[in-house]
A and B are shown apart, each in its own frame.
Chain A
Amino acid sequence: MRRREFLTMPAKSLGGLLLYTLAGEPVRVQAQDGTVRVPLRFFTADEARVVAAACERIFPSDENGPGATETGVVIYIDRQLAGPYGRDRYRYTKGPFVESVPEHGYQGQANPREIYREGIRLLGDFADLPAAQQDERLQAIEQTVFFQMLRAHTIEGMFSDPMHGGNAGLIGWQLIGFPGPVMSYRDEIDRYHGLPWRPKPKSLEQVTRRRVKGWEEEVD
């Protein structure tokens, strides 16, 4: 049994989080003063700090809008790694593992959990560096499998349905004007030609009025 680890964040930085516990119970965390403690499933608190800091450089919070911190990307990544994806349940992992041509993609043995653990180790004291030095460190590893995964996961955490732990308060979707899943555009598809249609986004749960579980909740 792993020790319970928590990610402690300033509450005002969060857009309002809908989280699920390991038991699948929804917990809504609203923006407030003080700090919130989010239970972690995979990362240690120190690891989560490093990953959160790196995601913030990939998709920063700045004058152009919120970024990885406000949307809770690190929580999204934590849940993905804790689930079947993190253990490579859906990748062909039979050997032999042989270096191949680039056209065959990633052929390594390490699963996403292991790739993160190694990547985080290499980032070292990353969370405590000034932003410019953080960027340099990320530039140095841009071509690694770890960084490419981290970049992809940051975008996933920004823009996936909040049931997966990111896109808190739907602010990722608000940022880009994505309405979320909408059951019908029959009346809009041929009317809004060249004009933006930007309703307030809704999550899958709000649209279907049903509790939907992400694949990461699958237990095996």
Chain B
Amino acid sequence: MRRLKPVDVVIVGGGWTGLLMAKEITSRTALSVVVLERGPARKTEDYATTMDELDYAIRLRLMQNIAEETVTHRHSSADRAGPIRQHGSFLPGTGVGGAGEHWNGISYRFLPDVFTLATHWREKYGRAPLPEELAVEDWGVTYEELEPCYWRAEQMMGVSGKAGNLRGRLIEGGNVFEGPRSQEYPTPPLKSSYLSTLFRKAALDLGYHPYPAPAANLSESYTNPDGISRPGCAYCGYCERFGCMIGAKAQPTNTLLPVLARKKNFTLRTGCWARRVTHRDGRAEGVVYVGPAGEEVLQPAQTVVLASWTLNNTRLLLLSGIGEPYDAASGKGTLGKNLTHQVGAGAQVFLDKPLNAFMGSGSLGVAFADLDGDRALDRSSGVLRGGHFQTGSTGNRPIATFGATPPGEAESNWGAAWKKAALAWRDKVAGVGFSGEHLSYRQNYMDLDPTYTDKHGDRLLRLTLDWTEHERRQAAYGGGILAELAKALGPKAINLSPPLGRYTVTRYQGTHIQGGVIMGGSPERSVVNPYLQHWRTPNLWVVGASAFPQNGSGNPTLTVLALTYRAADAFVDRYSKRPGALL
């Protein structure tokens, strides 16, 4: 093994969190930072020729090559796990920028009570028992503490939107149910698509409070506090699963990398596959990786930061033998617990006018949060947490969307009758959706698979995950509201998504996988402290949605970035001056 010269900080993962940590550390200290990214380099100019649905949205050319590494899944500890052989329910990215390149840009804040959910429930329900398999925890940080970091993340990306709660003052047209914001959004909302206009009217007719979905896809040209300028969105409709060809969608490569490129104390190494964090006596010593030529390399470092997405953060710690793996039977151990995804329901609404749905932007849409959290819920509903409702004009492409027909109109999904019906309804099918909080449970967790391995022979991560009756009730609750909403759109026909069954890896449900390296107020119940510093190995930091004890109803990226800013502040302002445990 080749041993390199030590550096101050080695960061595993060149996506949003890794590059943001690198930017903050290299901008505010003289420390040397090396980022290891196993995928290729990526840049805006590459993306002009990638507006190809087949290669990028269907064959998933920007994603991790699942042939080299995947995860296994089982529904319960009693089952045998099978490998996820092709991408399905979530899409891990690879290359510089990671999943932050191919995301949609939707940038919701979480509700304040999400961060203190265990406390919130104690206050709301007193001693009334909750289902005992719940593993919900406080995050160890409050919304109020995180608010300035949310604002910095929004400024960094230039999020387009409209505030609904400015320092306690409620504003019509914004999300009046959100936590108080210190500032209006950096840029105004995106333009309104036809579908957005229809949805807003339907929601208002039903008495809800629709607002424009906050977008990291700029509504107008914008220069962020780092001096990075990006143009307004062109509504080309190639966001999700694509990189932005003009840089309107905030991505690590167009927002963070240009800042880092000027830093002499920053080094980015692509094609480097991290396999282990080496450690001794409660101290991380460096990262062992396989380099582009297949050679094993040890990069010693004073501090190690894991920023390699939820699943790989957890797996690297398990493979490295750092921390106590969670045991679901006894409830002992913390590493790997509180695996969550996202609860959803949807409806196809068949309208009488064309939508030009190929026009759009990844986060162009309208949402309402009247039923988010549990403000509108009581225990008798059997639903503990709700979610938000939205429609999106994200850019329909024909391979993925052609063929929708109203229930009963075509007997089969091929042949002349189907073709006729599908052509008649082409571009008249709107999607509306419900996105609910997925609570954490004792029985949903991650560990290492005993059977399957990656291309280097390292054991794969095993997900033990299934929906419970609660998620089925949540989805049914959301589906009921969606049915009313669909009717209010004046449809010719409606197709509701089927009831939530067992967790499936075959259907895309969002790349919102959380937990495994959760944050919290005590080392007995969490892996990292509220600054994302490892409780037992203080020169190891683990950033990303792996830190979420449970998820919120909104897309996680903005919260991930806010937590990363907070971690970076603690690192720069306190840890770099006096390395050691912050708590």
Contact = CB atoms under 8 A, between A and B. Distances in A.
B408 interface: no
B383 interface: no
A189 interface: yes
Contact of A107 (B82, B88, B393): B82
B27 interface: no
Interface string A163-186: 110000000110111110111111
B553 to A, nearest CB: 24
A1 interface: no
Given A91-B66, A94-B83, A196-B427, A185 B55 contact: no
Interface in B207-235: 232-235
Interface residues of A, number: 69
Range for the number of chain B residues in contact with chain A:
35 or more
Contacts of A107: 82-83, 85
Interface in A130-151: 135, 138-139, 142, 151
Contact of B359 (A154, A161, A189): A189
A146 to B, nearest CB: 13
Contacts of A142: 412
A197 B356 contact: yes
Contact of B423 (A64, A90, A215): A64
A210 B47 CA distance: 12
A32 interface: no
Contacts of A104: 73, 82-85, 505-506
Contact of A215 (B59, B354, B451): B59
Contact of A190 (B73, B191, B232, B237): B191
B302 interface: no
A204 B49 CA distance: 7
B204 interface: no
A74 B502 CA distance: 36
B413 interface: yes
Nearest to B351: A194
B263 interface: no
Interface in A92-112: 92-94, 96, 98, 100-107
Interface string B57-97: 01111000111001001010001101111101000000000
B402 A189 contact: no
Most A CB within 10 A of own CB, among B55, B415, B506: B55
Given A92-B85, A105-B506, A160-B54, A212 B49 contact: yes
A179 B358 CA distance: 8
Interface string B353-396: 11010111000100000000000000000000000000001000
Interface in A184-201: 184-186, 188-190, 192-197
Nearest to A85: B59
A181 B52 contact: yes
Nearest to A207: B51
Contacts of B398: 158-159, 172-173, 176, 178
A184 B49 contact: no
Contacts of A138: 414
30 contacts: A57-B415, A59-B414, A64-B423, A85-B59, A90-B86, A91-B66, A92-B66, A92-B84, A93-B85, A94-B452, A101-B79, A104-B84, A105-B506, A151-B414, A154-B414, A155-B403, A159-B398, A160-B399, A161-B52, A161-B54, A186-B235, A188-B235, A189-B356, A189-B360, A190-B193, A192-B194, A196-B427, A207-B51, A212-B49, A214-B54
Interface of B: 48-49, 51-55, 58-61, 65-67, 70, 73, 75, 79-80, 82-86, 88, 191-194, 197, 232-238, 245, 353-354, 356, 358-360, 364, 393, 397-399, 402-403, 412-416, 419-420, 423, 426-427, 451-453, 502-506
